[in-house]
A and B are shown apart, each in its own frame.
Chain A
Amino acid sequence: MTETPSFGDALIAAMPNMRAFAHSLCGDAQLSNDLVQETLLKAWAHKDSFVPDSNLKAWLFTILRNTYFTHYRKSQREELDQDHAALNASVPPTQLTQLEFDDMRRALMRLSPDHREALLLITAEGFSYEDAARVCGCAVGTMKSRVNRARSRLVDETSGQSPMKEHAEQHRPGNTPPAKSSSR
């Protein structure tokens, strides 16, 4: 007879993916650990609101991305250099030392935050469009559009086509991060 894992065990099991998602979103190893820690504290404080047998990872990712965008908005307000994440993306020396990985990560960081998270959730995490849309608090169609646009731009970026286009778009007025989604 197997023992049901505790809520704490479930959080620990989800940590590697949470860290990868946070790191991919913000591009900074230390910040990603801070985001995960804050997410864990929030999840623990509100664990009664988690519906048993529902998608814990989606629930945690919702909290995590909301935490990230709160930080992102705050950093925007403080007029931090918007290239901070891309330029300071920490690369673990044992696994991501190759130029191709650097290029990939830089290209990813040049996507707008909403396109980046859409691509990460669908392509890297393997979420369904429905779950990803729930995490991001948007419609499924919007999620599909974001993923397609993100793919297209990533192809352009990594093949040398208009590498600064997205960068320029990120700096245009009105390019705001997506709204918070509900963590329920």
Chain B
Amino acid sequence: MGNNFVSSEAGKISDVRFLMMQQRLSAPDGPTRNQDTFCEQEPPAEPEARDAITRLPGIATQLIGERMRTMYASMVREPVPDDLLNLIRQLEAKEASE
């Protein structure tokens, strides 16, 4: 499963630079957050982050977000070591015996 998903993902990040360049060429001046396709709701600009927001190309941000979620999901799917599972069972057994 990992291999399938990895192969489908391959090359996305390498395309980011091209997509950013392409979007910058076609984007109007000023902030254009409508195309930013991060799944979570976009927060309003705050002074600390305003400069960063105006620079973010939507497609690149989307790809980064997807890649991050994919990477994280693959980590979540990793098997939990037995010693961690056993720890809980030992704690439960100890509590039950008290």
Which positions in A face B, CB cutoff 8 Å?
6, 8, 11-12, 15-17, 19-20, 23-24, 33, 36-37, 40-41, 44, 92, 94-98, 100-101, 103-105, 108, 119-120, 122-126, 129, 141, 144-145, 147-149, 151-155, 158-160
Whether B9 and A100, one on each chain, are in contact in the complex, defined by CB atoms closer than 8 angstroms, is: yes
Which positions in B face A, CB cutoff 8 Å?
2, 6, 9-14, 16-17, 20, 38, 40, 43-46, 48-49, 52-53, 55-57, 60-61, 64-65, 67-69, 71-78, 80-81, 83-85, 87-89, 91-92
- Complex-state Cα separation, A11 to B81, whole angstroms: 14
Which of A123, A144, A151 is in CB contact (< 8 Å) with B46? Answer: A144
> Majority SS of interface residues in chain B?
helix
Whether B2 and A95, one on each chain, are in contact in the complex, defined by CB atoms closer than 8 angstroms, is: yes
- Subset of 29 A-B contacts with CB under 8 Å: A12-B80, A12-B85, A12-B88, A15-B84, A16-B76, A16-B80, A19-B75, A19-B84, A33-B84, A37-B83, A37-B87, A41-B91, A92-B75, A100-B13, A100-B14, A101-B67, A123-B40, A123-B68, A124-B71, A145-B46, A145-B49, A148-B43, A151-B61, A152-B52, A152-B56, A153-B52, A155-B61, A158-B67, A159-B60
Which of B14, B52, B65 is in CB contact (< 8 Å) with A148? Answer: B52
Chain B contacts for A122, CB-based, 8 A: 40
A-B pairs, top 5 by smallest CB distance, nearest first, are A152-B52, A144-B43, A124-B72, A148-B49, A20-B75
Task: Tell me the number of A-to-B contacts counted with CB atoms below 8 Å.
Answer: 140
Across the interface, name the chain A residue whose C-beta is closest to B80. A15
